[in-house]
Every structure is written in structure tokens, then in C-alpha cells.
Structure 1
Amino acid sequence: MYTTTSNDGTTIAYDRTGDGPPVILVDGALCHRAFGPAAPLAKQLADRYTVYTYDRRGRGDSTDTPPYAVEREIEDIEALIKEAGGSAFLYGISSGAALAIEAANRGIGVTRLATYEAPYLVDETAPPEPADYRERLEANIAAGKRSDAVRLFMKLVGTPGFAVVMMRMMPVWKKLKAVAHTLPYDHEILKVGRHRRPLPADRWTSVTMPTLVMAGGKSPDWMRNAQTSLADVLPNAEYRTLEGQTHLLKPEAVAPVLKGFFTSSP
């Protein structure tokens, strides 16, 4: 494990593996270096790249500094890019994809950007988000009801009730509860695109680097609609469907695509 210090003094823990051009992987909600898809994907990419996986603030071995702001998480990525030599490829999944887009928009040294299923809601095919979701989420966290916060999030993302019941009896639930307090962070990052309206055409005008926007072929229509909409509003983006994949993306399915994209000519 390595550490770097973000602009506000927060310690960001990260791992580094492989050799080659640097790639930074940005996790989605509830995930970190020791829990989630980043570490298996890093192994798939390490034959060609120096891969950085890190604990987003408030997770794993990283510290946290309130109050939260999306800008602080962008500065965390900027600190990692400095560790990588001043520029890097960036890949984000789920809410981590939305964070990666915001980071790329700030001009912090992202030379290529890849995203997978940023969960924006862009039209009426998307399930509506309850108006009181954020309020209830923060109330549960403030009351120390982390299980309730995780359960509320699982309901929001469509996890079947029986699956949540099973998860609560498994060791994984303890890991989810440990980072439940960061769920409002992900909601804050995504709020620009959670209204079942078209994405703003003028928000990410500085994302001019080559960009790959991906969705799974087995994901619901609303998710694919969101990704095609995202590709349309980003200045230099292409869209690709990964056939056979869902939001639970398999590392071995996306790794060859990332390798091809990151090594292709401008």
C-alpha cells in the first residue's frame, strides 16, 4: 500500500501494479481496493499498464475530511495523477464513471477517459428516484443506522428484496456497512443527471480527450439510453455496447476493450 495527500490534507491510500503508461481506476458506490471490481481488473491490465487502484475518501485505508464536496474527490484523483507523473488514463465504473467525467472536465492531466454505466436517468424509461431518498439516506447515517442506509441504497438500485435478506446474513454486509456513510457522496456526484431529463449539453465541454462510453448488452434500456446520451454530449466520445454484460461487469470482458482504447492512436 502507498499513500498520497490530497489538497485538503486527506490521506488517500492506493496500490500500484504493472508497468507501462499509468491507468487510474475509479470505483463506484460502496467499493474500494479490497472490495469490488478494481483489483481483479488491475490484474488484467497490469501486463501493459501501471495500474493505480485507490480507496476513495472515507473508504478502506483512506481518511476523510468534512464537509464533503465533489471538488475534494477530484483533488484526490489529481493527487494520484501527480504520483503517476502528471498525466494518466482514467477509467470509472458506475458512480465512479460520473466522478471520472467530472475529474476529466477539470483539466487535471487525464489524457484518455473510459466510463462504464454512469447511472444517470435521462428519460421516462428510467425508474424515478424517490424525492426523499437523500433525506432518508442521511437520516439513517446520522442515526448510526448503517444497515438501513445500505438497504435503502440497494432498493434504489433495484436489488431484489430476497437478495438483500441473504446478503445481510453474509460477511459482505459488514463490508457494505463500513462504507455506508459515503453513499451521499455518490449521490452528490450524480445529482446533475438523476432527473429523467436530457443531460446538459454544456456541462462537460472540457472533456475533449478521446473518451469511450460503455454499457452492457444485458443492462436495462434506461441504462443504455443514458450512456448513448452521455456519449452524445461529450465532445470527443464514442459509445460501445459490451454484449452479454450487466452492471456487474466482468473484468475479463472489459479489460481487452480498455487495452484497445488506451493504446489506439488519437
Structure 2
Amino acid sequence: MKFLVLSTLALSASAFSPTAFAPRTTSTSLSARTPFIAGNWKMNPGTKNEAIALGKEIASSFSDSTPCEVALFAPYPFLDATVGAVGSSGVKIGAEMAFVEEKGAFTAAVSVSMIKSLGCNWALAGHSERRCLFGETDEDINKQVLNLLNHDVGCILCIGETQAEYEQGLVGPICTTQLKKNLLGVTAEQMANVVIAYEPVWAIGTGLTCPASEAQDVHATCRGVLADMYGAAIADTVRIQYGGSVTPETVDELMAKPDIDGALVGGASLVAEKFSRIINFKV
């Protein structure tokens, strides 16, 4: 499979070398962890009826033979409708963010208790679009993570480097820093409700996917950081997803890697046929 990254992004050749950062040697088998694939709808689709139809179609493709846990992260206005659309299929519904306060004069904010009351048991924190477009800092994200976990809501923590950081060979240091800052105060016990999503910012929404071998190196590095923070036993249980233009054509190779435990899928999760193929990956 060819990745036309150099011609599209004009990245330096050294940026794609696995030696551009120093991967840890920690590596575990996927069989030790249940894969988790999630769809992040972002500010899509356009109407509630479209969200219901999409949710129903995706839920119909989820069965006992699906090799992973599946969740859909829908916009706030569609959460209730999407919960109803997937019904008892087993597909989980999550929010794309939750504010850190429980209630009060915070116009347009949505609290954890609000999303829980709709049947949401997951939420995202730290997505690059929240960091880059809305100015959320590592401190903001850490507060969100702690707030979710303290309310017994699972958290997918998104980390990843920008194109400039990637070209400078800073993948390892950036991911390490984000993990340590964003998980500050999270206990070893709470890590059971945390999923890490490694999303290279340059691959989100661009149609480009980080080569599977390189993504594996980054995931192994992240697992090594978690081992330093919580011990190897805890690190071996944490699921680390890959995100960044995941498609039916790239998912099988990604999921074959020992430290890639799932995917956080953007655009392809808006097309039921594509997302169905992704969640029913083959290795």
C-alpha cells in the first residue's frame, strides 16, 4: 500500500523514519485487550433525522461477530436521538466533550451529568480540533479528564503532534508531554476507564494515514510512557487507538500491529458502509 505523503505534504524524508523519535521497546499482544473502534462525527451530520438514519445503519452492522467494542461520538443536539437509534445493539454513544463544571452560568456549556442522563458513557477529551481551534490547553484537558473519570464516565484522551512538530522529529516528546500533563492526578485504578487515541494532526481529515509500522512505533512509545507512570501491568491493559483518516483500505494493516488497539475514525464514520467495514476489520 502506498502512502502519498511526501508529495502531498512535502514532509522531509527524515520525518518518516522510525528513528525520527526513540520508540520504547514495550509491546504487547492485541489479544490482551479488547479492540475499541469509535466514530467521531464532529459537527456532522446536518440534521437529527440524518443522525438517526446513520446510527441505525451502523448499529445494524454490529453483531456478535464484530471483533471490537464500538462507540459513536455525536454532536450534543443529536445525542438523545442517536442513543435511541442504536437501541440495544451494543453500540455505545459518547459526547465529543464535557465541560468541567456541573451547573451554573456557563452559556453553551454541557456538563457530564447532562450527557450521562441521556445514556452516554464515554466522552472525548483533548481532540486536536479542540486544542487548535478552541484554544484548550493541557491544563484544560487534564481537568476534563479528571471530571469525566470522577463521574464514572469513560474518557478517550486524544494526543498527537502537528505537522511542524512531526517534521522536527518531536513525535515522541510531544506525545510524552501530553500524556503526562493530561493524565496528571489520574490514578492507576481510574486508568481502566481511559483510552488513549494517538492522532497525528497532519493526518486528520487530510486523507493521509501514518504508515502502520510508524504508528506502531508511536503506540509502543506511548505504552512505555504509561508503564513509567503506572507500571507495566497497568500499561498493558490500556487501549491505544490510532486516528487520522482511517479507511476500509488501511484498517486491516493498522489493526494487525500489536500495540494498535483500535481506531478513532472521523470522515469514514459518516458513511455507514465504510464504518461497517472498519469495525469488522480483518487481521
TM range (shorter): 0.3 to 0.5
TM-score (norm 2): 0.33
**Larger RCO: 1 or 2 (CA < 8 Å, sep 6+):** 2
TM-score (norm 1): 0.35
Q: Which has the higher helix share?
A: 2
